[in-house]
Amino acid sequence: MTLRYAILVLLSEEPSHGYRLKRRLEETVGSLWQVNVGQVYQTLAQLDRQGLARSRMEATDQLKVRKVYEITEKGRRALATWLKRRPSKPGPIRPEIVVRLIALESGEYQQALEQLRAEEEVYLTYLERLNGSGEPARSLVAEGGSFRVRDLALDIAVCQARAHLGWLRSWREQLERFRSSPALAERKALGLQIGQ
């Protein structure tokens, strides 16, 4: 849903073709929002069908023809309406680690710990890459006083990765404490099923 409005924003600045829109999105937001060019073309076709954008064929320097899109007045109104709307509530959280833990048998604490540790390693590597990306989010305002969306996007990614790491560490530590608790050892000794 957000991609359609990102495309409308870019089309409101100037007409463009799909691949150029993809590049402009990546230039604006940085490498954190990777867009598949197929998604861009699919969204453009949808915007065209809905009358929010219109396409025309344009000759290129290489004697080829490409489809160029421009925003329509209806598209400008839709974009303006969307910008005035209250932001959407956060979407459902569906981290992969939850599904991995569901797949484990009840009481498989060692496997659960291994899954949590593996996810921690992935997120630590990701956070290192973000911090070393060459695009430090020093502030949201670059030299010269201009707002830089790519700094905002990087800051969001860093904050989300840190929050996820905090969650992973918290649950790993709780599971480690629970696994080594005397009450759990007693239940095992009595032959009681873990998880009952």
pLDDT in tens, 74-130: 999 999 999 999 988 877 777 888 888 887 766 677 888 888 899 999 999 998 888
Of 136, 159, 148, the C-alpha closest to 27 is 148
Q: How much is the pLDDT for 153? A: 79
pTM: 0.66
Q: Residue 142: pLDDT above 70?
A: no
Beta carbons within 8 Å of 169's beta carbon, 6+ residues apart: 120
Confidence of residue 194 (pLDDT cuts 50, 70, 90): very low
β-strands 65-71, 53-59: how paired? antiparallel
Q: Is 30 left (phi over 0), alpha (psi -120 to 50) or beta?
A: left
Q: Residue 139: pLDDT above 80?
A: no
- What's the helix, strand, coil split of the chain in %, to 5? 60, 10, 30
